[in-house]
Amino acid sequence: MSRSRRLAAPLALAVAGGLFAAPAAEAAPAACDTTSTPYTYVVTYQPGTRASTVDKELAAKCGTKVAYYAEIGVAIASSRDAVFQQKIGVYRAYSGGKDVAGQASARSSLGAVRTLEDTRSTAAAGDVSAQQWDMKAIHAPEANKVYQGSRAVTVGVLDSGIDVTHPALRAAVSASASAGCLTGAPDVSPASWAPTTSDHGTHVAGTIAGKDPAAGFTGVAPGVRLASVKVVNDAGYIFPESAVCGFVWAAKHGFAVTNNSYYIDPGMFYCPKQPGDAAAFEAVRRAVEYSTHRGVLNVAAAGNSGFDTTAQTTDPNRPHPVDSTCGILPKAIDGVMNVSSVGYAGTKSSFSNYGAIDVTAPGGDFSQTPPDGAGPACPLSTVFGGLYGSKCGTSMASPHVAGVAALLASRFRGAPPWLLAQLLEGEADVVKCASTETACTGPAKNNSYYGHGLVNALDAVR
C-alpha cells in the first residue's frame, strides 16, 4: 500500500447535501414512544459540534446521550422510540442492535463466521513450542532472541476481552489502558473488559505478546504491552458504537497498534450511499481515521468467506445491493492493514478472503495438515483455563501481523502508521500466485491473495 494511501484525508467537516450537518438550533418537540425496546444508535454531527447542541437534539427527538466524541462528531444515543432513526434522519443515525432484532437470518455467533475452531487440541502442561509452526513460519523464535519489543509500546486488542489470569498473559495486559466499549462509552472497570462467553480475544492476545516459559509458549512480541478493549458482546456481535469507542480509546491512550479480528455487524458490507449504512460507515470511518492521525496502525483480518471482497455484489448477512463504494468495516477504511491467511503449506487458506490484501500471515487451514509433532492445522495460542488451544481463521493471521508491527514500533519509536505499514510490506517474504491459483492476480510482490507477502518478524528486529 502506498504512502499516499496511508495518509488518510482530514476528517470532513461537511458532506454534500448536508448529510451530516449539525441540526438546527431549535428542534420541534416530538411525541415519544416510551414502550418499545430500547436500542443504541450512532448519530453523526459535524466534528466539533457542541455537546449542548447534541443533547438538545437528542432530547427533542426522544433519545438520550450515552457518549459523544466531539473530535469526530459522533454521538452514541439510546432511544425507545421506534422511529428515532427517522426523526434524526436515516442517513445520520443507525442501530446495529435494532437491525439484528429485525432480521431473523442475522448471524448470531462470533465463532460461526469469524473463527473456524479446532477444539481437538489443547495443552495444559509440557513444552508446546514444537507445535508453534505459525511462529516458525514468520521467524518469530529467531526474532525473540534478538529483541522482544518494548514495554513502552501498547497493542490494543479490540475483541472479546483478554483473560488476565492466563499464565502467558497475566504480565502482559495493562489494566490502566484497558476498557469495555460495549455500550459505546468506555468503561474502565475490570469486569467490563474481561472475557465472558468467548476466548477469541484471549487467543489473539497470546499470539501477539504471550509468554509462558513453563509451557514453552511465546508470542510474536512478548516484550510489549497489551490492552484489552472489549467490543464483542456476549452474542458475538460487534456493533458500530463499540468499534467507534474502541478506536477513539486507542487514539487517546497512545496505542501504537490495534488488532481487529472481526467485521462490524450485522451486515458484512456497509454502503455509504444507503440509509442507515451511511451513518455507520461514516462514524467508523471518522473513528479509524482519527486513530490513524493520532499515530495508531490498525491491523484487520480479511474475513473467512473465501471470496474476493472487491467483486461482491451481495451481502451474505443481509439483503441489500453491494457495489464498489461498499466495504467490510473496519478493513475497508484507508490506512487499515488488511491481512489474509495462509496454512501450514504456506498457501492461501481455503476460507480466506482475498482482493485488497496488504500482507499475509499464518491462520491455518484444515486441508494443510502439519506432520506429526509439528502441531495442529490451526495456530496454537492461549485459551480459557490456562490452556492452549488451536483456532483457524484470518482472525488468527491478523495478530501475527499486529505482533510484527509492535516489534517495528518498538524499534522505531514514534514512527507514524504509514511508515510501520511500509516496513511491514517491504520486509515481507514474497509469496507468488501459484499456477493452480487461477483467482490470484497481480505481481509477485503485490497480488490479490498474499499482498506484499508473508510478514517476517526477524527482519523487523534487525
The last residue of one of the domains, among 73, 95, 117, is 95
Tell me: do 144 and 288 sit in the same domain: yes
Q: Into how many domains does the chain fold?
A: 2
pLDDT of residue 29: 57
Where the chain has pLDDT below 70, the residues are 1-30, 104-125
Beta bridge partners of 342: 348, 362
Helix (H) or strand (E) holding 219: none
Tell me: do 55 and 9 sit in the same domain: yes
Does some domain include residue 138? yes
Tell me: do 90 and 112 sit in the same domain: no
Confirm if 283 and 74 have CB atoms less than 8 A apart.
yes
Q: Which residues contact 232 (CB under 8 A, 6 or more apart)?
A: 110, 159, 160, 161, 198, 200, 201, 238, 242, 262
Tell me: do 131 and 260 sit in the same domain: yes
Output phi, psi for 362, to 5 deg. -70, 125
CA dist 455 to 31, 275, 306, 340, Å? 57, 39, 21, 11
Tell me: do 151 and 78 sit in the same domain: no
Does some domain include residue 14? yes
Tell me: do 135 and 74 sit in the same domain: no
Tell me: do 48 and 197 sit in the same domain: no
Tell me: do 77 and 115 sit in the same domain: no
Output phi, psi for 249, to 5 deg. -60, -45
Q: Give the Cα-Cα-Cα angle 267, 7, 256 (nearest 5 degrees).
A: 80
Does some domain include residue 271? yes
347 grid coordinates:
498457501
Omega prior to 266 cis, within 30 of 0 = yes
**Bridge pairing between strands 337-342 and 225-230:** unpaired
Residue-wise pLDDT for 218-241, tens only, equals 999 999 999 999 999 999 999 999
Domain housing 88: 4-95
Does some domain include residue 101? no
Tell me: do 156 and 228 sit in the same domain: yes
Tell me: do 304 and 188 sit in the same domain: yes
Q: Residue 152: which of 128, 135, 126, 177 has the closest Cα?
A: 177
pLDDT of residue 123: 57
Residue-wise pLDDT for 161-218, tens only, equals 999 999 999 999 999 999 999 999 999 999 999 999 999 999 999 999 999 999 999 9
Round to whole Å and give the CA distance between 288 and 283: 9
Tell me: do 58 and 116 sit in the same domain: no
Tell me: do 180 and 227 sit in the same domain: yes
pLDDT of residue 14: 35
Domain CATH number, residue 454 = 3.40.50.200
The last residue of one of the domains, among 95, 128, 151, is 95
Round to whole Å and give the CA distance between 132 and 362: 11
